[in-house]
Structure 1
Amino acid sequence: MSLARFPISHEQIDLVVASFYARVRAHPKLGPVFTSHVTDWPEHEAKIARFWRNAILMERSYNGNPMAVHAAAGNVRPSMFEPWLEMFDITLTQHLPPETAAQWSALAHRIGRGLRYGLVQHDAPKGEVPRF
């Protein structure tokens, strides 16, 4: 019995990740943010594919802390998650069956909300309640 959240292959995950980051690099606002941090795109894409394999297929091939990485970047803002998720959803619907795309999208949006909230908390001055 598989523990996967939904059926998907390694190849499908790799395709979505590669296609998505091609979009990101071309995006006028997100592209410069990513390229200021990513120096090895194939390695970055492999790491993110491992993240998704962990999140979807319950593999244990990813070891990292996305919240800490995004907060430490210094130029990642909560408002960037909306266009990021829009592009991710477009990529999912282009490359996956509708049900699989919807399931992955729901997971990505849940993770995105957590990261966005974490960045708001991280950026808020001590003692101040963050505003959305």
Structure 2
Amino acid sequence: MPDPTLCTEQEITGLVHQFYGRIRADETLGPIFEASVDDWDAHLVLLVDFWSSLLRGTRRFSGSPMTKHAALPDLTADMFRRWLAIFHQCTAELDNAAMRSEVEAMAGRIANKLWANYQGVHGTGHPGSHQPA
């Protein structure tokens, strides 16, 4: 459940910018994001709004992450695992332990949902397919 006292907007902004800076520099994930994001400034604002809505209940986010991710070609469970690994690197550096715990749990659920949806859309799911988290 969102909690406006869990963290500050500055903490969310810092995490989002640090994380996507690392994603953009990643040799596997960077090219995928660079090919699909036209305006990084606007995208980062959207992502801060997304995490703010989830963590603090601000309700600023509107959009369809499932649709956007499902439209990307050739994603794999390993890519989602890499996304999570980089995310966990960034959250490990957070001073706010409560935020770290909550955001890590959310990221795992989000990655699993996005991957399950992706498999359904692309017909890549099969019995025993691995979840990213």
TM bracket (short chain): 0.7 to 0.9
**Offset at residue 56 of structure 1 (A):** 1.1
TM-score between the two structures when normalised by the length of structure 1: 0.87
Judged with a 3 Å threshold, the aligned counterparts in structure 2 of structure 1 residues 3 and 44 are, in CA distance, closer, same or farther, namely closer
- Partner of 1:64 in structure 2? 63
- Partner of 1:27 in structure 2? 26
Given that residues 81 and 112 in structure 1 are in contact (C-alpha distance below 8 angstroms), is that contact kept between their aligned partners in structure 2? yes
User: Superposed, which structure 2 residues align to 1:59-98 within 5 Å?
Assistant: 59-98=58-97
Judged with a 3 Å threshold, the aligned counterparts in structure 2 of structure 1 residues 3 and 113 are, in CA distance, closer, same or farther, namely closer
- Amino-acid identity (%): 27
Structure 1 outlier segments of 4+, above 4 Å: none
Post-superposition CA distance 1:20-41 (Å, at most 9, x none): 0110111001000000011211
Gap runs ≥5 in structure 2: none
**Offset at residue 6 of structure 1 (A):** 6.5
Q: Would you say how many aligned residue pairs link Structure 1 and Structure 2?
A: 128
User: Superposed, which structure 2 residues align to 1:46-61 within 5 Å?
Assistant: 46-61=45-60
Name the CA distance, whole Å, in 2 between partners of 1:116 and 1:87. 17
Moved more, 67-76 or 49-58: 67-76
Moved more, 76-85 or 111-120: 76-85
Given that residues 50 and 62 in structure 1 are in contact (C-alpha distance below 8 angstroms), is that contact kept between their aligned partners in structure 2? yes
**Offset at residue 109 of structure 1 (A):** 0.5
- Partner of 1:130 in structure 2? 126
**Offset at residue 73 of structure 1 (A):** 2.4
Q: Secondary structure at the match of 2:71?
A: helix
Gap runs ≥5 in structure 1: none
Aligned-CA RMSD value = 2.0
Judged with a 3 Å threshold, the aligned counterparts in structure 2 of structure 1 residues 103 and 6 are, in CA distance, closer, same or farther, namely farther
Post-superposition CA distance 1:30-61 (Å, at most 9, x none): 00000001121111111001011111111211
**Offset at residue 70 of structure 1 (A):** 0.4
Given that residues 3 and 57 in structure 2 are in contact (C-alpha distance below 8 angstroms), is that contact kept between their aligned partners in structure 1? yes
